[in-house]
Amino acid sequence: MTNEAMADVVVVGAGIVGLACAWAALRDGGDGARVTVIDRDFEGDRASHGNAGGIAVTESTPIAVHGMFTKAAKWLMDPLGPLALDWKHVPKALPWFIAFRRASEPARFHAISHALALLNNRVYDDIVPMFDDIGASAMHYRRGALTVYETDEAFAADQTEWAFKRELGARWHALNAQQVRECEPSLAPVFRHGVFLDDWSHIGDPRRIVTLLRERVRSLGARFVTGIARAVESPDTVLLANDERVQGRRIVIAAGAWSAALARSIGDNVLLESERGYNATLPRHGIELTREVIFAERKFVATPLDVGLRIGGAAEFAGIDAPPNYRRSDALLALGKRFIPGIDDTDAAKWMGHRPATPDSLPVIGASPRAPSVVYAFGHGHLGLTQSATTAALVADVLACRTPRVPLAPYSISRFDN
């Protein structure tokens, strides 16, 4: 690429976060903005396609809650439980798990939570205009969500965290067993308590959202380059696996679970793991469910999408290259049948995807301290869809040299140097 044709912004990654960043850069830059998007397969499957569809604005506490390691040890005893670990992957992942445990220390836990809330409390300010612009508003359902509990003990154990989430800005109210049944009559009558999440919402088809956003980015004038980004060769050049070079005055790294290698190519260290998630989508489920339901003790969710009932969850640490274990999708489906009686699993589609997870549950957003022309936008874990438009707005602020609307220090990649 010649200097005359050099892009203003090159975005590496065409998942929901990368496309949102490209969309924001094009809208922010006006008619003359030149944006190039690089992806290995623009039409191919990605984590953005298989998520549960939730706009999870109340998820403002890190996954590393106090006592998690004790629970995790029990979960690992169940080969099809909510957590799996490929022991061959442990040596590589050990620094991540050490940092994960540190994130549960009280002072760190509270600091992380406030940083997550800063992002989540402005999600609708950013994502609603994006949905409006790409024509996705009709598939955005603002019906809240329901967390359900089978036992008094589990409900009581979570009350401190729920109270803290309320302090962080989450709106919720408790339901008794009868109210849970009235809220979602299709659920098995085993739930003694519920928590209704007022501000949660969901979308009807995650894959369709990505397609609409990609089409809108293309219509705004973005150039699409198919290829695997191998390294950031210089502050303005991305080297592809076929030795092609793509140049841009600014480079945005939004390659999900593959972002760590690109950061390392310019000397930035990051702890990033693929937290592999599984689901099963049932196009002929035959039941009525109004909103996303989170099954607190079993660590799975069910979402009524336009394309079918999606039952998802699980966290598997096995690296990027290990083959999927679809027995985990089968296990989730078995849970779904147990707690949502009568569902039809005819033509159920199984799926696995790579959630890009940091040990502290905070995304990496902001300029590289070593190459300020490179801007990071990855590591959103379970909240890629939720935080996509807000991340894009912050990236647009950085690209335009404006003071970001949210202070970016908590999300800096430099936190991994400590």
Residue 68 pLDDT: 64
Domains 3-48+207-272+361-417 and 59-90+142-198+273-357 share a fold: no
Between β-strands 308-317 and 273-282, what pairing exists: parallel, antiparallel or unpaired?
antiparallel
Whole-angstrom distance, CA of residue 35 vs CA of residue 21? 10
Please name the CATH architecture into which domain 59-90+142-198+273-357 falls: 2-Layer Sandwich (3.30)
Residue 32 pLDDT: 76
Q: What is the pLDDT of residues 251-285, one digit of tens each?
A: 999 999 999 999 999 999 999 999 999 999 999 99
Residue 4 pLDDT: 47
Residue 77 pLDDT: 67
Residue 1 pLDDT: 44
Between β-strands 7-12 and 245-253, what pairing exists: parallel, antiparallel or unpaired?
parallel
In CATH, the number for domain 3-48+207-272+361-417 is 3.50.50.60
Residue 86 pLDDT: 87
What residue spans define the domains of the chain?
3-48+207-272+361-417, 59-90+142-198+273-357
- What is the number of alpha carbons within 13 Å of residue 86 lying toward its C-beta? 18
Q: What is the pLDDT along the chain (418 residues), one digit of tens a residue?
A: 444 479 999 999 999 999 999 999 999 987 778 999 999 999 988 888 889 999 999 999 999 765 665 666 666 667 667 888 888 998 999 999 999 999 999 999 999 999 999 999 999 999 999 999 999 999 999 999 999 999 999 999 999 999 999 999 999 999 999 999 999 999 999 999 999 999 999 999 999 999 999 999 999 999 999 999 999 999 999 999 999 999 999 999 999 999 999 999 999 999 999 999 999 999 999 999 999 999 999 999 999 999 999 999 988 999 999 999 999 999 999 999 999 999 999 999 999 999 999 999 999 999 999 999 999 999 999 999 999 999 999 999 999 999 999 999 999 999 999 7
Whole-angstrom distance, CA of residue 261 vs CA of residue 172? 40
Whole-angstrom distance, CA of residue 351 vs CA of residue 139? 22
